Structure 1
Amino acid sequence: MTIFCSHCHRPLQAEMSCLPRRGKQAPAASKPFRSTKSASKARRDQINVELQALRSLLPISAREKERLSYLHTMALVCLQLRGAQMFPPDSAPPAGPALGTELLSLLPGFLLVLSANGKLVYISENVAQVLGLSVVELLAQGDTVFDILDGQACEDVQKKLLLAQEEPGREVTFVSEMRTSKTFRLQYGGNRAVAVCGRFTALRWSASATAFLALCTPVMRLHADSTASSQDNLFQSMHVLDMTFTDVTESVTYHLGYYKEELIGQSWYSLLHPEDTDLAAAQHRAVVLGAGTASGMAVLRVLRRDRTWAWLRVSARRDGGGHVITCTSHCLREEEAAYLRAREHRPTPRNTAAPPPTPVAAPPPGRELSLLAAQLRALADSLSPPAAAPAWPWPEAEAFPPGPHDTALTRLLGDALEGAGAPVAHAQYVPCPHQ
């Protein structure tokens, strides 16, 4: 069999081979790279070294660095890179760490900075006081604000952010439930509602870049303890049982504009919005008629001195031996009030077990027979014609007025059927006219 060279197509012997010139040699096809166990281990070691180098550059304590996983490390690195890109180190005046810690401790919530597409750029460290999760734990859930929000509120939040982005400088506020730790979910019965108030701001050092700067404050639940909330946005008032002011704290001037002397002797109802008087009256009635120191809560609108309406979360209770009503009023934003009212009228979830029905006591033995016998006797008496019944031509459209035996029969039939456990149709009894 003749063998030809694959390059010059000349016949060759089996022991010979014809090699082309080096200048015309075709490049040989590279063999596919086959990963070996040693090569994989070398790559993993290299990745570990690089992650450890990145971890050492993070501005956190050494104790926190030791607890970081690879996922948490990459999330923090990405957050730092976005922050450094949007806020260069030489773009803001230097502030000492002590000043920043003092400012954060005075805030009623945590700070949040977002990019134009909703990416997380900065979260203040005091977020753990509001949500029970640290910055690292929040970033592990995702790198956008929508990853830390409740799924049902993402669409509304996106609309608010788009509205704020179209008009930079316009302040927007929205209330949404944010993810919390398991401890907080057990304490608050679910995720915690947070009011986000902020606006998009154009950065001086970058004409095309904008950032959403916001303050996130927790929203108090409707039936939460008043003493556990901040004392900066509330005032207290004392009333007699008809809700006439007898005393009020001086902070009412800051929240409503009235002086203490102007309100003493006035009725609480004179400040209420007309649409909220029924709700306030129901709360007032529940407190006055309740047993002991009964308390009630409601979200109401009251009139300020400047003729604008203020939203208040009012908690009322009886004190002083039941002769004095003390009200604690928390000032709310309009969005917070709308959220609390929606929560108050939210239907019960399907997975919530309904209370068991009250068991109906069964009739004692022998009562069913006696009721049935009484029913038959009354029925026989009603069907028996009178001894001398004159035949009067009664009009067909006019019914004979029910007699005492007819009323007794109707009551007896209903009682008997209810005692036997049969369904009763409570229809009006209309006797047949006598012929």
Structure 2
Amino acid sequence: MPSLALPGRVPRGWLCRSTKSASKARRDQINAELQALRSLLPISAQEKERLSYLHTMALVCLRLRGAQLFPPGLAPPTGPALGTELLSLLPGFLLVLSADSKLVYISENVAQVLGLSVVELLAQGDTLFDILDGRLGEDVHKKLLLAREEPGREVTFVSEMRTSKAFRLQHGGNRVVAVCGRFVALHWPPSPSSTAFLALCTPLVQSPTDGEAASQDDIFQSMHLLDMTFIDVTESVTYHLGYHREELVGQSWYSLLHPEDAELAAAQHRALALGAGAGPAAGTAVLRVLRRDRAWSWLRVWARRDGGCITCTCRCLREEEAAHLRSRQPRAAAPPAGRDVARLAEQLRALADSLSPPAPPCRWSRPEEAEDDASVCLGNSLLHRPPAQFLRFPFEQKIGCDIPSVLPQVWSAQRC
């Protein structure tokens, strides 16, 4: 007996049936909606053509989260030139996260650091942990929780970030980046929906060239005799360590070193003096030096020997950067045996005598006094550890990351 269709009831067969025309209509509707969303994105027409549906949705979600944190009326009107000029002056790229670690904003110059565009980076995922090395995810999560509990407190963590295949082939791995930022309330009263983590992501670079060393603000250079006595230093040392050039010339490099780092510095010094070790890593060390205000600063030191002089290129580091680099730094080599020490001291004295100007009239009454004096000047600073009776001063290093006031302007500029 055939069943009767009750009023307002759909026959059972229609619930499970999906025709080709209905599926095509749904696909066409989805495509049209994605095309409409793609047309609203503030990117060039060529970039829009290359966007897949996944990339389109990722960019749309990023812009929606950004519009929630940075409403159109939040920042004063500004032209696109401000954003371009600001980004060109930064040593890294800007990163903004929501309270739940979702990506909200990534500055366009990220491609210069990671080799990936914003779109390619979003293909990795929509959270910070999707673009970081997973091995340090727990430590990064703790840092972000600490910053969220104390808004305004600056935190720094160092981790590898995902990069393009071409970058990994060229550099042998992903890029190590120091992320320095803090949580700020963008609207009042503060709430999780109006709180963002604003950060500057700075790469830990390899050995700088001479041209880069002369142009970068976080680098200074010094020149030493073979016993590491200062003979010249760039004026920028005043900004980093507080000393004037005249105060350092004639002083020993070892007089500035932290006692716990003297052995590492001596190993680097020996390697340069003996010509041991090939490659740039042989002359690289991470050390603490004493500032003029009696605080300790971390430096990454690249040293090379140029005839009778040693040139050091020094870059200032945050404590977290120094800890990361030290964890990958090879252990200092054991000092030479006693006979090798004597031979090395003799070679250094002979080399210094051949490179130094004619000596002034003799001021020693006995030859033994001259020999002892030369040994002290040229041997002790290299072969013996400096006295450990240094005063210990608390480490303090503050590097500002004050970007909340300018980031809304960059955001509004890119919206134009």
The TM tier, using the shorter chain, reads: 0.7 to 0.9
Partner of 1:352: none
Question: Residue type matched to 1:160 in 2?
Answer: K
SS in 1 for 2:228: coil
Match among 71, 84, 94 for residue 101 of structure 1: 84
Point out where structure 1 has 5 or more consecutive residues left out of the alignment: 7-18, 347-435
The answer on 1:268 being equivalent to 2:232 is: no
Question: Residue type matched to 1:189 in 2?
Answer: G
Counterparts of 1:172 and 1:178, CA distance in 2? 18
Counterparts of 1:123 and 1:335, CA distance in 2? 23
Contact kept in structure 2, 1:91 and 1:205, CA below 8 Å: no
Structure 1 pair 292/118, CA: closer, same or farther in 2 (3 Å)? closer
Partner of 1:179: 162
Contact kept in structure 1, 2:303 and 2:310, CA below 8 Å: yes
Question: Residue type matched to 2:78 in 1?
Answer: A
How far has the Cα of 1:95 moved from its partner? Answer: 2.0
| Cα deviation 1:332-369 (Å, max 9, x = unaligned) | 111111111112249xxxxxxxxxxxxxxxxxxxxxxx
Match among 193, 198, 201 for residue 184 of structure 2: 201
Match among 284, 295, 309 for residue 296 of structure 2: 309
How far has the Cα of 1:91 moved from its partner? Answer: 1.5
Kindly, what percent of the aligned residue pairs are identical? 78
Q: Which runs of at least 4 in structure 1 moved beyond 3 Å after TM superposition?
A: 25-30, 223-230, 291-295
TM-score by length of 1: 0.71
Question: Residue type matched to 1:131 in 2?
Answer: L
Match among 236, 255, 258 for residue 240 of structure 2: 255
TM-score by length of 2: 0.74
Counterparts of 1:284 and 1:97, CA distance in 2? 50
How far has the Cα of 1:207 moved from its partner? Answer: 2.6
Match among 114, 136, 139 for residue 97 of structure 2: 114
Partner of 1:300: 287
SS in 1 for 2:310: strand
Partner of 1:371: none
Partner of 1:341: 326
How far has the Cα of 1:27 moved from its partner? Answer: 5.0
Question: Residue type matched to 1:333 in 2?
Answer: R
Structure 1 pair 168/233, CA: closer, same or farther in 2 (3 Å)? same
Question: Residue type matched to 1:283 in 2?
Answer: Q
Counterparts of 2:95 and 2:165, CA distance in 1? 22
Point out where structure 2 has 5 or more consecutive residues left out of the alignment: 332-416
Counterparts of 1:291 and 1:33, CA distance in 2? 78
Moved more, 112-121 or 81-90: 81-90
Cα root mean square deviation, aligned:
2.3
Question: Residue type matched to 1:84 in 2?
Answer: A
Question: Residue type matched to 2:196 in 1?
Answer: A
Question: Residue type matched to 2:186 in 1?
Answer: L
How far has the Cα of 1:37 moved from its partner? Answer: 1.1
How far has the Cα of 1:30 moved from its partner? Answer: 3.8
How far has the Cα of 1:107 moved from its partner? Answer: 0.6
Partner of 1:213: 198
SS in 2 for 1:344: coil
Counterparts of 1:197 and 1:36, CA distance in 2? 55
Structure 1 pair 143/226, CA: closer, same or farther in 2 (3 Å)? farther
SS in 2 for 1:161: helix
Contact kept in structure 1, 2:285 and 2:300, CA below 8 Å: yes
Larger Rg: 1
| Cα deviation 1:68-91 (Å, max 9, x = unaligned) | 000000000000111111111112
SS in 2 for 1:147: helix
